[in-house]
């Protein structure tokens, strides 16, 4: 049976150890991004965790943008101005530097026992769809045929949305054909695979620009596993 590492799909929008500068009043620290409601702030002064009782989160009346309207305010003047400050907190979707507002990430993850999560059956097929679509063609030196050239199209200055949509559709269709051929060759070697992980047919590839944000392209992909189950996959692409 085949398996692969599981890629989580949800971004937590958490900022880790952002460096902050203490204002001249020795009481104020300002976030570089908006703080989400219940942003779970953890503040460090020169590597030491600052107790939450030492400060409050207050409105910043000097900033007109409502999203940037909160800051850290010490209850007393900080008596060691030579300290440097770092903060962990949660920002809001459209300001997240990790997912760029797309809500999803691609990275390996672990379960509660420290073991790598693994994908099997239809979940493995879904993950392979993602790998073949988002990998830049030629970027894997051991499997140069894996991936698409979508990134090059997203970088082009081309105002013809229909042209871009057609090219991306063709790229996705081609790379999924490569995936299917590879799976069949893999199976012929005698290795055990499941019907759930095997790509049987490509039912739909629909690529269009997001109606609310023209810098984002949405690719909707529907395939059939050999098990008979339908797999729906959506990939969001941002134009640079």
Percent of all residues in the chain with a pLDDT value above 70, rounded to a whole number: 82
C-beta separation of 230 from 122 below 8 A? no
C-beta separation of 68 from 202 below 8 A? no
168-195: pLDDT as tens digits: 899 999 999 999 998 998 888 887 889 9
Note the residue count of the chain: 240
- Residue 111 pLDDT grade (very low, low, confident, very high; cuts 50, 70, 90): low
- Residue 81 pLDDT grade (very low, low, confident, very high; cuts 50, 70, 90): confident
Report the pLDDT value the prediction gives residue 208, as an integer from 0 to 100: 87
Q: List the one residue out of 88, 86, 94, 118 whose CA is nearest residue 11.
A: 94
Report the pLDDT value the prediction gives residue 134, as an integer from 0 to 100: 82
Q: Is 121 helix (H, G, I), strand (E, B) or coil?
A: helix
DSSP H helical ranges for the chain: 121-134, 150-154, 161-188
Domain ranges of the chain: 14-95, 120-238
* Mean pLDDT score of the chain: 82
User: What is the topology classification, in CATH, of domain 120-238?
Assistant: Nuclear Transport Factor 2; Chain: A, (3.10.450)
- Residue 113 pLDDT grade (very low, low, confident, very high; cuts 50, 70, 90): low
pLDDT at 4 over 60: no
Measured CA to CA, the distance from residue 237 to residue 169 in angstroms comes to 13
pLDDT at 229 over 70: yes
Ordered strands of the 199-209 beta sheet: 199-209, 216-225, 230-238
pLDDT at 68 over 80: no
pLDDT at 114 over 70: no
- In this prediction, residues 13-24 reach a mean pLDDT of 91
Report the pLDDT value the prediction gives residue 80, as an integer from 0 to 100: 92
């Amino acid at each position: 049976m085949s398996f692969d590492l599981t890629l989580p799909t949800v971004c937590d929008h958490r900022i880790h150890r952002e460096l902050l500068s203490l204002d001249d009043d020795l009481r104020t620290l300002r976030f570089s991004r908006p703080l989400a409601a219940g942003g779970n702030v953890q503040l460090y002064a020169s590597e030491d965790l600052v107790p939450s009782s030492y400060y409050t989160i207050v409105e910043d009346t000097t900033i007109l943008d409502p999203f940037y309207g909160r800051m850290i305010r010490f209850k007393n003047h900080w008596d060691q101005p030579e300290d440097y400050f770092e903060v962990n907190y949660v920002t809001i979707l459209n300001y997240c530097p990790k997912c760029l507002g797309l809500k999803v990430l691609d990275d390996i993850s672990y379960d509660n026992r420290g073991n790598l999560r693994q994908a099997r059956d239809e979940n493995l097929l879904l993950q392979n769809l993602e790998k073949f679509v988002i990998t830049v063609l030629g970027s894997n030196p051991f499997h140069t045929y894996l991936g698409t050239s979508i990134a090059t199209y997203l970088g082009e200055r081309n105002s013809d949305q229909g042209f871009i949509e057609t090219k991306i559709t063709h790229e996705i269709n081609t790379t999924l054909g490569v995936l299917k051929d590879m799976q069949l060759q893999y199976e012929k070697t005698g290795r055990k695979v499941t019907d759930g992980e095997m790509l049987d047919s490509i039912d739909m590839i629909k690529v269009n620009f997001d109606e609310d944000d023209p810098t984002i392209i949405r690719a909707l992909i529907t395939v059939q596993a050999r098990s008979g189950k339908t797999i729906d996959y959506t990939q969001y692409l941002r134009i640079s």
